[in-house]
Amino acid sequence: MNLEYIDPFILASKDMLAQVANEKTDIGTLFLRDSSFIGDNVIIIIGIAGGLKGQVIFNLCSEAACNIASRMMCGMPVTHLDEIAKSAIGELANMISGNAATIFASKQMELDITPPTVMIGNNIEISTTKSNSICVPLVMESGNCFEINVSLSES
Protein backbone atom coordinates (compact mmCIF):
# COMPACT_ATOMS: atom_id res chain seq x y z
CA MET A 1 0.00 0.00 0.00
CA ASN A 2 1.21 3.46 -0.89
CA LEU A 3 2.05 5.43 2.26
CA GLU A 4 0.67 8.58 0.63
CA TYR A 5 -2.81 7.11 1.13
CA ILE A 6 -2.43 7.46 4.90
CA ASP A 7 -1.58 11.16 5.23
CA PRO A 8 -5.07 12.50 4.37
CA PHE A 9 -6.59 10.33 7.10
CA ILE A 10 -4.01 11.47 9.65
CA LEU A 11 -4.54 15.15 8.78
CA ALA A 12 -8.33 14.81 8.81
CA SER A 13 -8.32 12.85 12.09
CA LYS A 14 -6.11 15.32 13.92
CA ASP A 15 -8.13 18.24 12.56
CA MET A 16 -11.57 16.78 13.37
CA LEU A 17 -10.57 15.61 16.85
CA ALA A 18 -9.29 19.12 17.58
CA GLN A 19 -12.36 20.84 16.11
CA VAL A 20 -15.26 18.77 17.39
CA ALA A 21 -13.79 17.23 20.55
CA ASN A 22 -11.17 19.81 21.54
CA GLU A 23 -8.71 16.90 21.64
CA LYS A 24 -5.08 17.47 20.75
CA THR A 25 -3.23 14.38 19.55
CA ASP A 26 0.31 13.25 18.84
CA ILE A 27 1.14 10.71 16.17
CA GLY A 28 2.46 7.47 17.64
CA THR A 29 4.61 4.92 15.84
CA LEU A 30 3.02 3.56 12.66
CA PHE A 31 2.99 -0.21 12.27
CA LEU A 32 1.81 -2.89 9.88
CA ARG A 33 -1.20 -4.81 11.14
CA ASP A 34 -2.28 -8.26 9.91
CA SER A 35 -5.41 -8.42 7.78
CA SER A 36 -7.15 -10.02 10.78
CA PHE A 37 -6.77 -8.45 14.22
CA ILE A 38 -8.52 -8.05 17.55
CA GLY A 39 -9.82 -4.54 18.13
CA ASP A 40 -10.59 -2.55 21.23
CA ASN A 41 -14.12 -2.01 22.53
CA VAL A 42 -15.22 0.47 19.85
CA ILE A 43 -14.70 -0.08 16.12
CA ILE A 44 -15.94 2.17 13.32
CA ILE A 45 -15.62 0.92 9.75
CA ILE A 46 -15.80 3.15 6.67
CA GLY A 47 -15.73 1.56 3.22
CA ILE A 48 -13.81 3.34 0.46
CA ALA A 49 -14.53 3.10 -3.28
CA GLY A 50 -13.59 5.09 -6.37
CA GLY A 51 -9.94 5.82 -7.16
CA LEU A 52 -9.01 3.63 -4.20
CA LYS A 53 -10.83 0.69 -2.66
CA GLY A 54 -10.75 -0.84 0.79
CA GLN A 55 -11.53 0.18 4.34
CA VAL A 56 -10.53 2.57 7.04
CA ILE A 57 -11.12 1.20 10.52
CA PHE A 58 -11.07 3.46 13.55
CA ASN A 59 -10.33 1.63 16.80
CA LEU A 60 -10.54 3.00 20.34
CA CYS A 61 -11.38 1.99 23.89
CA SER A 62 -14.76 2.73 25.50
CA GLU A 63 -13.26 5.34 27.82
CA ALA A 64 -11.85 7.33 24.90
CA ALA A 65 -15.10 6.98 22.93
CA CYS A 66 -17.18 8.22 25.89
CA ASN A 67 -14.82 11.16 26.42
CA ILE A 68 -14.93 12.16 22.75
CA ALA A 69 -18.73 11.76 22.57
CA SER A 70 -19.10 13.90 25.70
CA ARG A 71 -16.99 16.66 24.21
CA MET A 72 -18.89 16.46 20.92
CA MET A 73 -22.14 16.89 22.87
CA CYS A 74 -21.02 20.09 24.62
CA GLY A 75 -19.81 18.39 27.78
CA MET A 76 -22.90 16.29 28.45
CA PRO A 77 -21.71 13.41 30.67
CA VAL A 78 -21.33 10.14 28.75
CA THR A 79 -20.69 7.16 31.00
CA HIS A 80 -21.63 4.47 28.48
CA LEU A 81 -22.12 4.32 24.75
CA ASP A 82 -25.85 4.65 24.25
CA GLU A 83 -27.40 5.26 20.82
CA ILE A 84 -26.70 9.01 20.89
CA ALA A 85 -23.06 8.51 21.88
CA LYS A 86 -22.60 5.80 19.22
CA SER A 87 -24.11 8.15 16.67
CA ALA A 88 -21.66 10.89 17.68
CA ILE A 89 -18.66 8.57 17.35
CA GLY A 90 -19.93 7.29 13.99
CA GLU A 91 -20.40 10.86 12.79
CA LEU A 92 -16.83 11.71 13.83
CA ALA A 93 -15.53 8.85 11.65
CA ASN A 94 -17.79 10.06 8.84
CA MET A 95 -16.45 13.64 9.12
CA ILE A 96 -12.85 12.39 9.19
CA SER A 97 -13.39 10.22 6.12
CA GLY A 98 -15.25 12.98 4.27
CA ASN A 99 -12.44 15.43 4.95
CA ALA A 100 -9.86 12.86 3.83
CA ALA A 101 -11.87 12.34 0.61
CA THR A 102 -11.77 16.11 0.06
CA ILE A 103 -7.97 16.07 0.44
CA PHE A 104 -7.76 13.23 -2.12
CA ALA A 105 -10.06 15.19 -4.48
CA SER A 106 -7.66 18.15 -4.32
CA LYS A 107 -5.06 15.71 -5.70
CA GLN A 108 -7.39 14.62 -8.54
CA MET A 109 -8.43 11.33 -6.92
CA GLU A 110 -12.16 10.89 -6.38
CA LEU A 111 -13.30 8.67 -3.50
CA ASP A 112 -16.70 7.59 -2.24
CA ILE A 113 -17.21 6.63 1.38
CA THR A 114 -19.85 4.40 2.95
CA PRO A 115 -21.87 5.34 6.01
CA PRO A 116 -20.04 4.34 9.20
CA THR A 117 -20.60 0.97 10.82
CA VAL A 118 -20.13 1.23 14.60
CA MET A 119 -19.43 -1.93 16.60
CA ILE A 120 -19.23 -2.11 20.38
CA GLY A 121 -18.00 -5.18 22.24
CA ASN A 122 -15.03 -7.02 23.67
CA ASN A 123 -12.26 -8.65 21.65
CA ILE A 124 -13.85 -7.80 18.31
CA GLU A 125 -12.11 -9.66 15.49
CA ILE A 126 -11.71 -7.54 12.38
CA SER A 127 -10.65 -8.70 8.92
CA THR A 128 -9.68 -6.18 6.28
CA THR A 129 -10.28 -6.80 2.61
CA LYS A 130 -7.49 -9.04 1.34
CA SER A 131 -4.55 -7.10 2.74
CA ASN A 132 -2.75 -5.88 5.80
CA SER A 133 -3.44 -2.41 7.11
CA ILE A 134 -1.18 0.33 8.31
CA CYS A 135 -2.09 1.44 11.80
CA VAL A 136 -1.57 5.02 12.90
CA PRO A 137 -2.10 5.52 16.63
CA LEU A 138 -3.05 9.05 17.60
CA VAL A 139 -2.19 9.49 21.27
CA MET A 140 -4.67 11.71 23.08
CA GLU A 141 -3.99 13.91 26.09
CA SER A 142 -5.57 11.25 28.33
CA GLY A 143 -3.02 8.70 27.11
CA ASN A 144 -5.68 6.73 25.24
CA CYS A 145 -5.21 6.00 21.55
CA PHE A 146 -7.45 6.74 18.61
CA GLU A 147 -6.19 4.25 16.02
CA ILE A 148 -6.59 4.73 12.28
CA ASN A 149 -6.20 1.46 10.35
CA VAL A 150 -5.91 2.09 6.63
CA SER A 151 -6.25 -0.78 4.16
CA LEU A 152 -6.48 0.68 0.64
CA SER A 153 -5.39 -0.27 -2.84
CA GLU A 154 -5.80 1.28 -6.27
CA SER A 155 -9.01 0.37 -8.07
> pLDDT tens, 48-66?
999 999 999 999 999 999 9
Domain locations in the chain as residue ranges:
3-152
pLDDT band at 34 (very low <50, low <70, confident <90, very high): confident
Average pLDDT over residues 71-93: 96
d(CA 39, CA 37): 6
Chosen CATH of 3-152 out of 3.40.1550.10, 3.40.50.720, 3.30.70.2740, 3.40.50.1360: 3.40.1550.10
Residue 35 pLDDT exceeds 90 = no
